[in-house]
Structure 1
Amino acid sequence: MPDAVTIGETLLRLTAPPGFGLEQTEILRLEVAGAESNVAIGLSRLGISSGWISRLVNNPLGRRIANKIREHGVDVSRVIWTSEGRVGLYYLELGQSPRPYQVIYDRAGSAFSQIDPDEVDWDYVRQAKLIHLTGITPALSPSCHRLVCRAIEEARSAGLKVSFDVNYRSKLWSLEEARRAIQPLLQAVDVLFCTTQEAMQILEVHGASEVMLREIARRHPGATIVLTLEEGGALLWHEGQIYIQPGYPLEPIDRVGAGDALVAGFLAGFLQGDPLQGLAYGVAYAALKHTFIGDIVWCSRSDLEQFLRNQHAHWR
């Protein structure tokens, strides 16, 4: 059975080539992309067994998603298959300063948004060590909100660790809606990920990054917290101590999925009993993600460790 299980929706991502706008391009690259499956793939590529649970339409598009995730060693045996609904899409225009990235969602009525929590194989989930969830899922529908609540309840009753990435998406719901839904969920979380912007917007904490981190820790005693910084790098709160991992100089090709890469890298260390190694892994894995088109980091654990050794030698 996998050490980590993730639950969430994965979309087909249609991306204009670099340098082309969506209005301009005649070609769209097809990728598989979803926050929870990105984390499952990242964990698997780093040597941590993982499973991904979702609800997909049993047609070529749904099978494309499941097959691509399975390709990276993720267990997709508990995907719920249906003949109803549709596969969600999103269109991406890769921005380059001063032109911003642009995302257009086309996911309403997706098969996953209609999931019934009773459809999930909770016995499978309860045998893992950790479940990873995100704030995207409860934004998709009332049943998806119930799914996240049920997942946390099942994890707590079985003694699993609960990992949660705030992952606020303004195109899916308002700040008020997100605050009302997410803040109560975080009371039962063991590992919490958020950006400094999400800390201000959703958790309503302010000040310097270390001040925000201490306030989040005060509200969630016992939780391990990873606060990612706008300038790169991250802060870690673990067992009453703050640890800092600076970021790396970047020449980004595609930044989408970097937050998921950080989560995967951190959890890879955390699940092996070393949160500090997880912090180093997470920040490095996120940096490497910027160098690949698509949401996936095409690096193994040995690639990641070689990168870290090279960086250490460079700065020594």
Structure 2
Amino acid sequence: MRFVTMGEIMLRMTRPDYQRIIQGNKIDGFYGGSEANVAVSLAMMGNDVQYVTRLPDNMLGVACRNELRRYQVGTSHILWGGSRVGKYFYEQAASLRGSSIAYDRDQSSMMTLQPDMIDWKDILKDVDVFHWTGITCGLSEGASDTTLNGLKEAQQRGICISCDINYRKNLWKYGKEAHDVMLPALKACHIIFGDTGEWKLITGMTPPPFDAKDTSYELDIDAYRKYFEKTQELLPQGRSFIMGIRNVLSASHHLLTGVLYADGKLYHTGIVDINPVLDPIGVGDAYIAAYLHAHFRWHGEHQKHLNYALTAAAMKNTVLGDFNLLTEQEVLDTMKEVL
């Protein structure tokens, strides 16, 4: 399959050994970002994937491009311009202390993107799947309009369109509301992923509760089925609706599951107990990337698609950095053990 993903890749800065941002004199750097994370996961699983972004023409931009190439992600559609790579400083959660993030991305190369900078007709030629997220639409009006132009071109070409809702309330500062931009765009999408809060934002409906304390918890399957039946009415082009469901018991102990609504039927998985959690950044990106891979790899096997996606997302919690560096076979081998 030939995939295109589009978004901002950033430099993540993390103090080692669970130190606070204000502590220490050492810092670890990882490149990452939702759409780039999806691109790397897809490439690791053997797919042909091109990543579209805008980077400054300096050493940090070149290093970023080289990191993508390291994992066989196509970079021929990267734009060079602007003055800086966006950054964020991540403080790891520990015991009673939650995680914390401080962003430094204002006026980044991607935030100052304008629609006339990207030739979607060229980029989406001979492409099977176009993947985008709400993060890019929240960055700036220029980045949002550029994304929506890509969406329109994908529609005209009959390309499968995938979206991760990925709502970030600290973005959306340019005068438009996330719901008002995202809902019309999602009406054109075929595969949509989000967590419980993101689905509530889009649909206006509260998903069923998930109060699991261990893996014996039973989901209210009928309630989820009814929820997505109503969602299907709101988003009639949708073919697959995926909800990632997580309960954080402690900083290092999470319970993860998910549901999939496809072809008028609700699919669900068991609950995966993840303890210890080493790095939770990028779990949702790992979820949708693995789902996309499975969806096109094993046509029509909806339960396998969801099981594979959940397993990959759970395993991402054990991989340091934003990228989920797992092969298809590694996920399949673990899937046999946990689901």
Regarding TM over 0.5, the answer is yes
1:269 — aligned with what?
Answer: 294
Paired with 2:115 and 2:303, the residues of 1 have a C-alpha distance of 35
The 5-angstrom pairing of residues 1-316 of structure 1 reads 3-82=2-81, 84-122=82-120, 123-173=122-172, 177-208=177-208, 210=224, 211-223=226-238, 224-231=240-247, 232-250=256-274, 251-272=276-297, 273-274=299-300, 275-311=302-338
Runs of 4 or more off by more than 3 Å in structure 1?
Answer: none
Q: Note closer, same or farther for the CA distance 1:165–1:207 as it changes in structure 2 (3 Å cut).
A: closer
**2:187 partner letter:** Q
Higher mean C-alpha deviation, range 174-183 or range 12-21: 174-183
Aligned-residue identity in percent: 28
Compared CA separation, residues 165 and 14, structure 1 to 2 (3 A): same
Closer, same or farther in 2 for the Cα pair 1:14/1:74, shift >3 Å?
same
Aligned counterparts of 2:205 and 2:20: Cα–Cα separation in 1: 36
Aligned partners of 1:240 and 1:126: how far apart in 2?
31
Which consecutive unaligned segments of at least 5 residues does structure 1 have?
A: none
Q: Distance in 2 between matches of 1:227 and 1:157?
A: 28
SS of 2:286's partner is helix
CA distance in 2, matches of 1:121, 1:52: 14
Letter of the 2:161 counterpart: V
Q: Distance in 2 between matches of 1:230 and 1:291?
A: 16
What TM-score do you get using the length of structure 2 for normalisation? 0.87
Q: 2:257–2:271: 8 Å Cα contact kept in structure 1?
A: yes
Return 5+ residue gaps in structure 2 as ranges. Answer: 209-222, 248-255
| Change in CA separation of 1:252 and 1:81 when aligned onto 2, cut-off 3 Å | same
* Contact 1:226 1:236 (C-alpha < 8 Å) held by counterparts: yes
Aligned residues: 310
Report if aligned partners of 2:188, 2:237 keep a CA contact under 8 Å in 1. Answer: no
1:95-119 CA-to-partner distances (Å, cap 9, x unmatched) read: 1232111011100101111222232
Q: Compute the RMSD of aligned alpha carbons.
A: 1.7
- Give yes or no for contact 1:266–1:277 (8 Å, CA) kept in 2: no
Give, in whole Å, the separation in 1 of the partners of 2:177 and 2:17.
34
- Superposed CA deviations along residues 163-193 of structure 1, whole A, max 9, x for unmatched, are 0111011211379711121111111011011
In structure 1, how many angstroms separate the alpha carbons of the residues matched to 2:207 and 2:90?
Answer: 33
Q: TM-score, normalised by structure 1?
A: 0.93
